[in-house]
Amino acid sequence: MAPILELRGVKAFYGQSEVVHGIDVAVEEGGMTVLLGANGAGKTTTLRAICGMVRSEGEIRFAGQQLERRTTEQIAGLGVAHVPEGRGTFMALSVEENLRLGGYTRARRPDADMQRMYGYFPILAARRQQQAGSLSGGEQQMLAIARALMMSPRLLVLDEPSFGLAPRIVEEIFNIVDRIRREEHVSVLLVEQNANLALELADHAYLLETGYVVTSGSAKALADDPQIRRSYLGY
Amino acid sequence: MHELLQQIFSGLAAGAVYASVALALVMIYRATDLVNFAQGEMAMFSTYIAWSLVTVGLPFWAAFLITLAASFIGGMAIERIIIRPVENAPVLAAVIVTIGLGLIFNSLAGWIYSYTVQDFPSPFPDRPLFGALITTQELGVIGVTLVMLLLLFLFFRFTKTGLAMRAAAQNPLSARLCGIPVGRMLAIGWGLAAAIGATAGIMVAPVLFLDPYMMSGVLLYAFAGALLGGISSPVGALVGGVIVGITENLVGTYLIPTQLKLTVALALIILVLVFRPNGLFGTAVVHRV
């Protein structure tokens, strides 16, 4: 099957300085791909390049369309839902308003989609009128994922969903993401520090170091690689 | 007692106008972190448009609505053409641009309509009501302002575009990721602010009379109101504007000569900045490094 997202020789820049040096990454349709690597490896920057948030060179193809030189909002309109670093919650708005905003690009009324999200995340239904800023970290992450899914995206891009959360919550969120991937037929591109959990759920993995892809392959192969085990999995 | 109530009501009418302009300032500030020093002159120019329409024989309310529509479009155009290029410039540069914009509108109005003071028609007959407590003019101004506020509230609370505008003001990056065209939202914000200013200008013109400097005092009071309420809070702008209107009237009647009334605004601005920089309803802005 053709990949839904394909990066070829992608370089990404902050101002004048090149942070990602020509990487190739692919996400299979319906699959989950994870980008691993230490801080400063260029994982977040790669995600930003995909969504037009930083200057980039090279080829980025999504579902047969070129993404480079499109604006962030156009890329969202094509069906790329990006949950950014820090979750991008609209803190002063209610949970329900956050979800409505997620459905902005959809022509139809968001109510049915919202009910489906409440099905995945019942806690959000209980908090629907609350200000998003008053939610706990885990609840905010759930809200961020639900908001992204309101777009009915073809690709869900998650930037470190485990950041700052308790292990039990992280596991819960990852299991829901996995379920959503299968039930909503959405492909997932994940950046994650928690390599153990990520490799368990993902089918493909890339290891980034200082802006280069140093290893890639099936998640299972990477999980079994002794060097990766030592450096990133800690056993 | 009767005179005091009279002064409070006429302060309320003036306050409604200040509150409207303050609200326009706050809307733009929240969306772009920019204080629009041209807000008053934009409103003045809109009032001239209404004046021309009435002068050529249009009924007042038709002229009013056409002016609002024209101001809305004009405000959007200003954002697109003049403000957009300095969007990422240092804030001082952007502020200077708005000051320049104000000067341009002032000169333009002087050039087209001359600096002669014009009589502006009021849609409300100037009749005292309730034992001369309040005039129909004052009541009309308060009523129009309330209707405008209600419409704005409904727009921001219940429409998709209104929600998207709030989101774009709060977290532009995240709004973009939701597919919201943030630039268009900012333009709509400027359009709305211009239309709000136009309403204020048209409401105050029968009292102040129309000339290219009509709004300069009003803008100062509106600043005082916006700062008092907290420059980041729409509710604060309204409350602040009304408080300034009433204070100005009472102080001008009982404490100082009318000619010195404008100093009330300045004194208030200084007091707020010294003792409560975030205003009554504002929140401290914390920037993460």
Angle at A78 between CA A76 and CA A84, to 5 degrees: 25
Q: In Å, how far is A16's CA from the nearest CA of chain B?
A: 17
Scan for tokens 């240092």, then name that residue: B90
Q: How confident is the model at residue B250 (pLDDT cuts 50, 70, 90)?
A: confident
pLDDT of residue A233: 67
Give the separation between CA A55 and CA A12, rounded to whole angstroms.
6
Give the separation between CA B212 and CA B214, rounded to whole angstroms.
6
Checking if the pLDDT of B286 tops 80, the result is: no
The 10s digit of each residue's pLDDT in A21-38 is 999 999 999 999 999 988
Beta strand residue intervals within chain A, DSSP E: 3-14, 17-28, 32-37, 55-62, 65-66, 80-83, 155-159, 187-191, 204-209, 212-218
CA neighbor of B41 nearest in space, from B83, B122, B98 = B98
- Say yes or no for a CB contact (<8 Å) between B177 and A77: no
Checking if the pLDDT of B289 tops 50, the result is: no
- What is the domain extent for residue B178? 17-215
Checking if the pLDDT of B95 tops 60, the result is: yes
Query: At B65, phi and psi to the nearest 5?
Result: -65, -40
Q: In Å, how far is B149's CA from the nearest CA of chain A?
A: 20
Checking if the pLDDT of B287 tops 70, the result is: no
* Reported ipTM: 0.91
Checking if the pLDDT of A78 tops 80, the result is: yes
The 10s digit of each residue's pLDDT in B207-222 is 888 889 989 889 999 9
Is some CB atom of chain A closer than 8 A to the CB atom of B92? no
Q: Is residue A55 part of a domain?
A: yes
CA neighbor of B145 nearest in space, from B245, B44, B258 = B245
Q: How confident is the model at residue A75 (pLDDT cuts 50, 70, 90)?
A: very high
For B165, nearest residue in chain A (alpha carbons): A101
Give the separation between CA B278 and CA B166, rounded to whole angstroms.
20
Q: Is residue B84 part of a domain?
A: yes
Q: Is residue A117 part of a domain?
A: no
Q: How confident is the model at residue B288 (pLDDT cuts 50, 70, 90)?
A: very low
Nearest-CB residue to B163 (from A89, A91, A101):
A101
- What is the domain extent for residue A21? 3-88+152-233
Q: How confident is the model at residue B77 (pLDDT cuts 50, 70, 90)?
A: very high
The conformation of residue A107, written as its DSSP 8-state character, comes to: S
Q: In sequence order, what are the residues at sequence separation of 6 or more whose Cβ sits closer than 8 angstroms to the Cβ of residue A204?
A: A26, A27, A28, A31, A32, A33, A34, A216, A217, A218, A219
Q: How far is CA B224 from CA B41, B102, B237, in A?
A: 17, 18, 9
Which segment of A15-19, A225-229, B36-40 scores lowest on mean pLDDT? A225-229
Query: Interface of chain A against chain B, CB under 8 Å?
Result: 51, 53, 71-73, 76-77, 81-82, 84, 88-93, 97, 100-102, 104-105, 147, 151
The conformation of residue B85, written as its DSSP 8-state character, comes to: G
Give the separation between CA A127 and CA A54, rounded to whole angstroms.
34
Q: Is residue A140 part of a domain?
A: no
For B182, nearest residue in chain A (alpha carbons): A73
State the burial class of residue A106 (Cβ atoms within 10 Å of its Cβ: 0-12, 13-18, 19+). middle
Q: Is residue B65 part of a domain?
A: yes
Q: In what order do the strands lie in the sheet with A32-37?
A: A80-83, A155-159, A187-191, A32-37, A204-209, A212-218
Size of interface A-B (CB pairs under 8 A): 62
Q: Is residue B80 part of a domain?
A: yes
- The CATH number for A72's domain is 3.40.50.300
Q: Is residue B264 part of a domain?
A: no
Contact A155, A50 (CB under 8 A): no
Q: Is residue B1 part of a domain?
A: no
Q: In Å, how far is A225's CA from the nearest CA of chain B?
A: 36
- β-pair partners for A21: A11
Q: In Å, how far is B160's CA from the nearest CA of chain A?
A: 8
Is the whole model's pTM more than 0.95, yes or no? no
Q: Is residue B199 part of a domain?
A: yes
In the predicted model, what is the mean pLDDT of chain A? 90
Give the separation between CA A90 and CA B171, rounded to whole angstroms.
7
Q: Is residue A126 part of a domain?
A: no
Q: Is residue B272 part of a domain?
A: no
Mutate to test the interface with B, among A44, A53, A72, A97 (most CBs of B within 10 A): A72
Q: Is residue B169 part of a domain?
A: yes
Residue B135 belongs to what H/E stretch? Answer: strand B134-135
- Mean pLDDT in residue range A168-188: 91
Checking if the pLDDT of A196 tops 80, the result is: yes
In the predicted model, what is the mean pLDDT of chain B? 89
- Mean pLDDT in residue range B229-257: 87
- Mean pLDDT in residue range B174-184: 94
Is some CB atom of chain A closer than 8 A to the CB atom of B163? yes
Domain count for chain A: 1
Provide, as residue numbers in chain A, all residues whose Cβ is less than 8 Å from the Cβ of B173. 53, 72, 84, 88
Is some CB atom of chain A closer than 8 A to the CB atom of B175? yes
For B178, nearest residue in chain A (alpha carbons): A102
Domain count for chain B: 1
Q: How far is CA A178 from CA A31, A188, A233, B167, B281, in A?
A: 10, 9, 21, 29, 44
Give the separation between CA A207 and CA A226, rounded to whole angstroms.
14
